[in-house]
Amino acid sequence: MKDSKSNYYLVGPDYYKSYCNVLKIVLICIGISGIISAVFSYDYASFGVIDFIIEIIMSVMVSLVTGVGLVTIIFAILEYKQVEVNIREEKTVSKPVMDRALIKRSDTIIGMVFILIFGSMLAFTPKLFGVYLFENHKLIHTISVFNIEHWQMIRPLIVIAFLLCFLDEVIKLMTGCYNILVLISNVVTNVVFLVLMTIVLKWRSIWNPDFAQSVKERFGYQQFSKGDLLFYWNTDTVSNLVLTIIFVIALAEMGITIYKTFRYGKGFK
C-alpha cells in the first residue's frame, strides 16, 4: 500500500513477493500449531464437539490475524529501513553456500511450529505439564508442576519470550542465510529470552509448592532419596537446573550463529 502524500510504501513492490512467501509460511505454521494446541488443551469432559470446533476456529482465526499483523509490521520496518530481504530458493543456491551459509527453510518452519505449540501450551494451559493419574483407563486427576494460581502474573513474560523467539525465526526465514540482520536478531532475542526466563524461574511462585508432597501421597512414597529431583523440590535446585539447560541451549545457538555469520555469512567473507 502506498501513501498518496508520500513516496513510502507499507510493503513496497521490492518486498511484496518476499512478504507473500513469508506470510504464507507463517500462516500455515500458525494454523497447524493452533489446531494441535487446541486438541491437547481442550477440556473434552466439560464441553461438547460443537464447542470444541468453535474453540478451534476462534483460536486459529485470532492467531492468524495476529500473524498477519506481526509479519506486516516487520516488513514495514524493513521497507522503511530499506533492509535487503531475499527468500532464497534452495535449488538456486550453490552447494558450498547451501551447506555453510544457507539457513534451511525446513529447520526454520519446524522451529516456528514448535515455538508456537510449546509456547502457547506453556502460557495458556500450564496444567498440562504435570503428573497424570488414571483409573480404569480414565484420567481422574492431574498434579501440575506449576503454580496455577499465580500464572496470571507469569504468563505475560512467557508470551513475550516466545514471541521474540518466533520473530527471530521469521527473520531467519526472510533472509535465508546468515548475515548481520540474523546475527543481531539472534543475539538480542537470546539475551532478552534468557533475562525473561531468569525472572520467571527465579520467581518462587512458578512451581507448585505441593507438587512433591502430592506425588508422595498419591503414589505411596514414604520419602524421596537425595538422588530424586523431588527431594529438592521446594529449593532453588529445580529452577537452577532448568535455567542451566536453557542457558546452555541459548548460548550454543548464539555461538553457532556468530560463528557461521562471521565465517560464511554474507558481507563477512
Q: pLDDT digit string (tens) for 143-189?
A: 889 998 888 889 899 989 998 998 899 888 888 888 888 999 999 99
**pLDDT at residue 7, rounded to an integer:** 56
Has residue 201 been placed in a domain?
A: yes
SS3 per residue for 90-147: HHHCCHHHHHHCECCHHHHHHHHHHHHHHHHHHHHCHHHCEEEEEECCEEEEEEECEC
Q: Rounded to an integer, what distance in angstroms lies between the CA atom of residue 204 and that of residue 16? A: 47
Has residue 148 been placed in a domain?
A: yes
Q: Rounded to an integer, what distance in angstroms lies between the CA atom of residue 21 and that of residue 34? A: 20
Residue 205 near residue 239 (C-beta atoms within 8 A): no
**pLDDT at residue 136, rounded to an integer:** 75
Has residue 264 been placed in a domain?
A: yes
Checking DSSP bridges between strand 130-135 and strand 138-144, what pairing results, if any? Answer: antiparallel
**pLDDT at residue 54, rounded to an integer:** 77
Residue ranges making up the domain that contains 130: 126-269
Q: Rounded to an integer, what distance in angstroms lies between the CA atom of residue 183 and that of residue 178? A: 7
**pLDDT at residue 31, rounded to an integer:** 80
Phi, psi at residue 139, to the nearest 5°? -70, 125
How many domains, the chain? Answer: 1
SS3 141: strand
Has residue 108 been placed in a domain?
A: no
SS3 194: helix
SS3 per residue for 35-94: HHHHHHHCCCCCCCHHHHHHHHHHHHHHHHHHHHHHHHHHHHHHHHHCCCCCCCCHHHCC
Query: What does the CA dihedral 221, 215, 231, 209 come to, rounded to 10 degrees?
Result: -140
Has residue 4 been placed in a domain?
A: no
Can you give the pTM of this predicted structure? Answer: 0.76
Cell triple for 177: 542465510
Q: Rounded to an integer, what distance in angstroms lies between the CA atom of residue 116 and that of residue 120? A: 6
Has residue 186 been placed in a domain?
A: yes
Angle between helices 180-202 and 151-175 (to 10 degrees): 170
Has residue 162 been placed in a domain?
A: yes
Beta bridge partners of 132: 142
Has residue 75 been placed in a domain?
A: no
The CA-atom distances, in angstroms, between 101 and each of 93, 98, 260, 265 are: 10, 6, 7, 6
Q: Nearest Cα to 114, choosing from 50, 29, 7? A: 29
Which pLDDT tens digit goes with each residue over 39-98?
666 655 555 667 767 777 877 787 788 888 888 887 787 777 666 555 554 444 445 555
Q: Is the pLDDT of residue 269 over 60?
A: no
